[in-house]
Amino acid sequence: MTARTETDFMGEIHVPENVYWGAQTQRAFENFNIGDETMPIPVIRAFGYLKKAAALVNGSFGLLPDDKVRIIAQVCDEIIKGDLDGHFPLKVWQTGSGTQTNMNVNEVIAGRARKLSGQKLHPNDDVNKSQSSNDAFPTAMHMAAYDLLVTTTMPALKALYRELAQKSREWEAIVKIGRTHFMDAVPLTLGQEFSGYAAMVEQDIRVLTDHLPLLARLAIGGTVLGTGLNSPEGFDVKMTKMLAKFTGHPFVPAPNKFAVLAAHDDLVACHGALKTVAVSLMKIANDIRMLGSGPRCGIGELQLPANEPGSSIMPGKVNPTQAEALTMVCAQVMGNDTTLSVAGASGHFELNVFKPVIIYNFLQSARLLGNAADSFTRNCIRGLLPNQKTIQAHLENSLMLVTALAPEFGYDKAAVIAKKAHAQGITLEQAACDLGYLTKDEFRQLVDPSAMTRPFNIDK
């Protein structure tokens, strides 16, 4: 591969001829060959918007000539469209401020501008004007996180909520046995059970929505430490207005620039909300795969869609694969939350230097949860069916229907009925009659599974 020689204040370095980046990117490419994880493309897209806005705002202050503003904006549009993705090769595992990625973007814009127009732009003096990596990178972090949540994560969760709520309405009259401690309990309806799942997801959506304003607060204008050194007064306000116009998101200046450079509590808090989503979805997915276990030797109250063969050796076996995929995603998100907690707690003095790993894990969690929730909705919940024959058999066979007799006979006497029925393998009805407590008609009047799914009416 042919190479060209680039020079910066550290001296000369050879850069591949067919790339737009320059010396600083090349040094980072060679010095941080760690892992396979490259900087997430949503961060690069956010930088495209940021650098375009910065050029226009600098131009409005008279700090950048019109011809440079135009060519920077043109290249940024290419970055936003994804035309230059191959020119951002740097790994997540780099400097903790994200300086290498910021300079990668600056150099690509300058290199591409030179290719398009022949005009020489300086990556630092022109493209990075009025900015520092210390405020540009966290701004791109917030922009990328906000956009992914509202375009991927939350729409998928809303679709899952709607499907669960629909199942709840459809199944409101199907009475089944409930379970606590993995043991038989009293009746509820299948609709009630699914209303709980729907309410959990609805609450998760509400919590995420409440956290979004934290991500809308941008660090831009703080430059190095939060003081705004080398940026014009009002730069932050103009920048956030322009970024809001470009993206359609309600971005505003962070009220305290020192806080958003030195710490990332906003992202930690928002990821905490994502962790809560993972906790909820783990519970829902596990319940559904256990309720569908069998099909003949398990609980078998739900019939899960048969999407693909489940075994390479057992013919006809079908597994709850969507639940398995979702719960693995949830485990990953819970682990990512630990990473964010440690990284967020490790800000030192005026700068947190764990920025790349914070945004990498945040975006992974947001995307995985959105994709997995969408897949679970389409490939599992939508085609889920109740096995009413099995549901009825379990209901009739449960000893915990005896709970309906407790108000009539008291806890201890009702327990005698349940114990006798279990020991002799007979029904509760037969046990109550054998003990002389009730006639069959009296038992059937008192033990109504449907009535047990709601509070009793004191007036009756």
Alpha carbon 1 to its chain's center? 41
Per the annotation, does 123 bind a ligand? Answer: yes
The reply to whether 209 sits in an annotated binding site is: no
**134 has binding-site annotation:** yes
Which residues on adjacent β-strands are paired with residue 38?
A: 91
132 is in an annotated binding site: yes
Residue 18 assigned as binding residue: no
Residue 317 annotated in ligand binding:
yes
According to DSSP, the β-strands at 11-16 and 175-180 are unpaired
Cβ count near 411 (within 10 Å): 11
Closest CA to 44 of 96, 129, 109, 94: 109
Find out whether 108 is annotated in a ligand binding site: no
Q: What is the DSSP letter of 150?
A: I
Q: Is 286 annotated as a binding residue?
A: no
Question: How many other CB atoms sit within 10 Å of the CB of residue 308?
Answer: 9
Q: Would you say 344 is a known binding-site residue?
A: no
- Alpha carbons 143 and 130: distance in angstroms, whole number: 19
Distance between CA 358 and CA 343 in Å, rounded?
A: 7
Buried b / exposed e along 260-291 (16+ C-beta atoms within 10 A): bbbbbebbbebbebbbbbbbbbbebbbbbbbb
By annotation, the residues acting in catalysis are 181, 311
Check whether 457 is labelled as a binding-site residue: no
Maximum distance among all Cα pairs of the chain, rounded to whole angstroms:
101
Q: Which amino acid is it at 121?
A: L
Burial of 92 (0-12, 13-18, 19+ CB in 10 A): buried
Tell me if 265 is assigned to a ligand binding site. no
CA dist., res. 43 & res. 143, Å (int): 8
What whole-number distance in Å separates Cα of residue 62 and Cα of residue 67? Answer: 12
The C-alpha atoms of residue 423 and residue 420 are separated, in whole angstroms, by 5
- Give the strand pairing for 3-8 and 11-16: antiparallel
Q: How many degrees, rounded to 5, is the angle at CA 43 between CA 41 and CA 48?
A: 95
Name, in order, each residue with C-beta under 8 angstroms of 31's C-beta and a sequence gap of 6 or more.
none
Query: How far apart are alpha carbons 123 and 126 in whole angstroms?
Result: 6
Annotated binding-site residues read 97-99, 122-125, 132-134, 180, 312, 317-319
Annotated binding-site residues for substrate read 97-99, 122-125, 132-134, 180, 312, 317-319
